[in-house]
Amino acid sequence: MRPSIQLLGPDLIGRILSEAFELLMNPGVRVGSATVELLRSAGVDVTVAEKVADHLADHDGVAHIPEPLVRRCLASVPRDFHLYNRKGEKTVHYGGDDVHFDPGSCCVQMLDPDTMEARLSETRDLVRIVQVTEMLPQFAAQSTAVVCNDAGNDLPSAIGDLYRLFIVLQHSDKPVVTGSFSASGLEGMIDLLAADSGGLDKLRRQPRAVFDVCPSPPLNWSEFGSHNLLDLARAGVPAEIVSMPLAGGTAPVTLAGSVTQHAAEALAGITLHQLAGPGSPIVWGGAPAIFDMRTGGAPMGAVETAMLNLACAEVGKHLGLPTHAYLVATDSKFVDAQAGAESARSAMLGALAGINMISGAGMLESLACHSVEKLVMDAEWIASAQRLARGIEVHGGELPGHTLATAMFAQTGLSGEFLQLKETRALFRQEQYLPSSLIDRSARGSEPPSDVFTRARARVDQLVGKYRKPSLPEDVLQKFQAILNREAGKARAAAAASEKLSISSS
Amino acid sequence: MSDELFGAMLQSIVDGAPDKASDLARQALATGVDPLEAVNRGFAVGIKFAGDQFGCGEMFLPDLLASAEAMKAAIKILEPEMLKRGSQRATLGKIVLGTARGDIHDIGKNLVATILSASGFQIFDLGTSVTPEQFVAKAKEVDADIVGISALLTTTMAGQKAVIEALDRNALRPRLKAIIGGAAVTSKWAAEIGADGFSRNAIDALELAKNLMRNITNQGTAPA
Ligand code: B12
């Protein structure tokens, strides 16, 4: 039996979905201008609102999406798909109860293990995270984990997302969980992946990456979010909805209410996506959290946050969709007991829930700061969680007579000599997760014992020492560079144009 | 009698009870209590208490927002009479707030607005994704003392710089002060773009704004 956890059950899921469908009609969903035509041609009533803020373009509207259309769109979503590594092997299976982990994305800071201070993250930090992630089997995929603040010296900050992918692809063979910060940023990123895969067609058939796309709570597929959804659907590159209702702040205070809002946002996203590209892969994902009533923050380590993530994924599973969640992160500023407790707890819960992709490892300070020392620690919690999720296994052929214990006792009698049994040698690696040197189980010896942070630092050094950079063909690297230069040029031109505009008007 | 009334006013704010606060404000007017006194000795004491309680983690955001609502309700009743008497409640200063162009993260900015307004600043909130021109126009329109720009994305932090440049182009500084905040904002960035201050959270933002106002007042340019 594979152990599992459910928080909702079919009756409550039914109520959640039924209210989510109601929300899609009333009050409806705010959508970006790029989607208005598409929705109208599918018969959706879109009222175009007056311009309420600058980031909403003139033709932003509120769509009232009827359930039958959503149901039709749900039906065209692939129930499962794979992400491939550079060798073309299926590495990540989005679907069923398969569980994978990747490091959290887009932190702006890095915990410096020497000073214990958070400082702005740089390219060297991203490279180190990628190296460690590459070496750890617990991570099925890479992520564009930290912002490279140093790149801004040479490159326009507007293409920071492209630059991160550029760095990750050069240092890793694994699949990548990534995302674009702007409506225009996606094109270059897809080009980069296509260059790596050997063409857009190949990328579509064997996708190497999935793109996180975020609605803005509540019920708003903003200009850039909806733009990204449509572009991904048309390109046939997998999208992952990361809806982030904050219970009590940007969503109903009740967990059930927030799960309902999440469902409505995800359903709306799927509708936009499938209308633009029926059959394109998309993941029912999110980073829901409670709203901290003291600080206004999004406490990613709170148990209620984990409950929200599990519940949202449960709704997605009920619909038969691939799932994603944000767990294994903490609100602590150090890699301390709070960080360990919060991250280990949610890793366990996520694995038991059978969520296909669980992002968040390595993250401190409510997703603002990354630590590579935490990442190696989280890998241990993840491995334990994966072990737990495998459950208690009854071995077949390896054990004589298919018994649980009697056949082994038949050999040992009352001698207690189990260590010598060939079954022990054959099975201990399956029965036990064998932790790395990070976990201390040693007897006290002559050396003074070390604390876990010290061991984590050593583990990072050890992994980085063993890491080998993949060798990419020269022509691919040249293509990468050309795409980066091209997009940098575009971004500079756009910045210059908007500056001119702003100076002339103020 | 008045002390009792002031006590009840304080309590109505702490309880976050707008109806109660309005009733007490009407009662004050009916019984000839000076409205400014009602604010200064009653309602404002309540909002300060609520702010302090929030600061030390004893009160929570929904409580604080309810207190702010109650305060607004009371002021709305008292304001016409205060205007008639020419006794204006001293605001600590006028602050224009918004998030940088392209940035929709507004929770932090809203929190800053709540705390500052609960503490007696007059807030003009321009919302999210605000252009430099909009900041400049509002600052001119209301004769602001401080402009606060929030940015959480590394891509939108450049917008903070753009606002400060626009304020300078319009010769609004140094009289007007520009402050910034957001997850990735550091003292280094603040210095680099010539901001007059930055803070990491709303409570510090209040201290920062008060200090800047002291500066402005010392220059003798602040409204009396
Ligand atoms: C909640 C959240 C969201 C919500 C925002 C909801 C809302 N209405 O605000 C949603 C889900 C919409 C969102 C969207 C996105 N987000 Co976001 N988000 C966060 C998160 C988790 C918390 C932010 C928050 O509200 N904190 C709580 C408040 C109270 O704190 P605060 O904002 O820092 O404000 C305090 C201080 O900074 C200061 N302050 C703030 N402003 C000001 C102003 C002045 C004048 C002063 C004095 C002080 C001050 O006082 C405040 C109160 O204490 C942060 C991570 C983090 N820990 O910061 C990521 C984070 C900022 N987001 C991030 C990203 C990437 C995004 C998206 C681009 C994701 C995507 N791919 O779609 C979009 C951006 C869309 C856009 N164009 O803006 C990244 C940023 C990376 C980067 N390069 O900069 C972060 C760091 C998370 C991550 N690791 O991915 N996000």
Question: Topology of domain B94-218, per CATH?
Answer: Rossmann fold (3.40.50)
- Residue B29 confidence (pLDDT): 95
Residue range(s) in chain B whose domain bears CATH number 3.40.50.280? 94-218
Which chain B residues touch A if contact means CB-CB below 8 Å? 54, 57, 60-62, 101-102, 104, 107-108, 110-111, 127-134, 136-137, 153-155, 157-158, 162, 166, 169-170, 183-184, 186, 201-202
CA of B185 to the centre of ligand 1 (A): 11
Same domain (yes/no): A136, A258: yes
Whether B184 lines ligand 1, by a CB cut-off of 6 Å, is: yes
* Concatenated DSSP letters of A250-273: TB-SSHHHHHHHHHHHHHHHHHHH
**How many Å apart are CA A237 and CA A215, to the nearest integer?**
18
Answer yes or no: do B129 and A55 touch at CB < 8 A: yes
Of A216, A502, A503, the CB nearest to B131: A502
If you take atom 6 of ligand 1, which residue's CA is the nearest one?
B105
* Distances in whole angstroms, Cα of residue A5 to Cα of each of A299, A433, B172: 22, 21, 59
By CB atoms closer than 10 A (0-12, 13-18, 19+), residue B36 is: middle
A264 and A369 belong to one structural domain: yes
Our CA-based measurement puts residue A108 at a distance from the nearest CA of chain B, in whole angstroms, of 6
Q: What is the pLDDT of residues B76-129, one digit of tens each?
A: 999 899 888 887 777 889 999 999 998 999 999 999 999 998 888 999 999 999
Statement to judge: residues A191 and A321 lie in one domain: yes
Three-class SS state of B36? helix
Based on the fold, state whether residues A370 and A288 are members of the same structural domain: yes
**CATH code of A117's domain:** 3.20.20.480
Q: Which residues of B touch A149 (CB under 8 A)?
A: 154, 184
In a domain, A110, yes or no: yes
What residues have CB less than 8 Å from A201, skipping those under 6 apart? none
Q: Is the confidence at residue B208, as pLDDT, over 80?
A: yes
Residues A325, A446 within the same domain:
no
Return d(Cα A490, Cα A476) in angstroms, integer: 21
List strand residue ranges (DSSP E) for chain B, in order.
Answer: 93-99, 121-125, 146-150, 177-181, 197-199
Task: Give domain status of residue A401, yes or no.
Answer: no
Whether residue A386 is found in the same domain as residue A410: no
Q: Burial level of A41, CB count in 10 A (0-12/13-18/19+)?
A: exposed
A154 and A206 part of one domain: yes
Into how many domains does chain A fold? 2
Residue B222's pLDDT is what? Answer: 40
- Kindly state whether residues A249 and A333 are assigned to the same domain: yes
- Span B2-84 CATH architecture: Orthogonal Bundle (1.10)
Residue nearest (by alpha carbon) to ligand 1 atom 65: A106
Chain B residue with Cα closest to A294: B60
In 3-state terms, what secondary structure has residue B149? strand
A382 and A413 part of one domain: no
Return the closest-CA partner of residue B103 out of B152, B136, B149: B152
List the residue whose alpha carbon is closest to atom 87 of ligand 1.
A367
Q: Does one domain contain both A364 and A449?
A: no
A222:B104 CB<8 A: yes
Domain interval for residue A329: 75-390
**pLDDT for residue A55:** 47
Q: Ligand 1 within 6 A of A298 CB?
A: yes
Decide: B210 in ligand 1 pocket, CB within 6 A.
no
Per-residue pLDDT tens digits for B120-146:
899 999 999 999 999 999 999 999 999
Q: What is the pLDDT of residues A270-311, one digit of tens each?
A: 999 999 999 999 999 999 999 999 999 999 999 999 999 999
What spacing in Å lies between the alpha carbon of B151 and ligand 1's midpoint?
8
In single-letter form, the type of residue at position B116 comes to L
* Residues A300 and A430 placed together within one structural domain of the fold: no
Burial A479-504 (b: 16+ CB within 10 A, else e): bbeebbeebbebbeeeeeeeeeebee
Q: Can you count the helices (H) and strands (E) in chain A?
A: 16, 20
A483 C-alpha vs ligand 1 centroid, how far in Å? 29
Q: In A404-451, where does DSSP find H-type helix?
A: 406-412, 422-431
> Where are the domain boundaries for CATH 1.10.1240.10 in chain B?
2-84
- A26 C-alpha to center of ligand 1: Å? 28
- Would you say the CB of residue B164 lies under 6 angstroms from ligand 1? no
Q: Is residue A140 part of a domain?
A: yes
Q: Which residue among B60, B62, B129 places its CB closest to the CB of A54? A: B129
Q: Quick one: what percent of chain B has pLDDT higher than 90?
A: 79
B179 three-class SS = strand
pLDDT < 70 stretches in chain A: 49-60, 397-400, 501-506
User: How far away, in angstroms, is B107 Cα from ligand 1 center?
Assistant: 8
Convert the pLDDT of each residue in A405-460 to its tens digit. 999 999 999 999 999 999 999 999 999 999 999 999 999 998 899 999 999 999 99
Q: Of the candidates A351, A310, A269, A354, which has an alpha carbon nearest to the alpha carbon of residue A13?
A: A310
ipTM summary value: 0.89
A123 near B CB under 8 A: no
The residues near A317 (Cβ < 8 Å, ≥ 6 apart) are A323, A354
Query: How many A-B residue pairs are in contact by the CB < 8 A criterion?
Result: 74
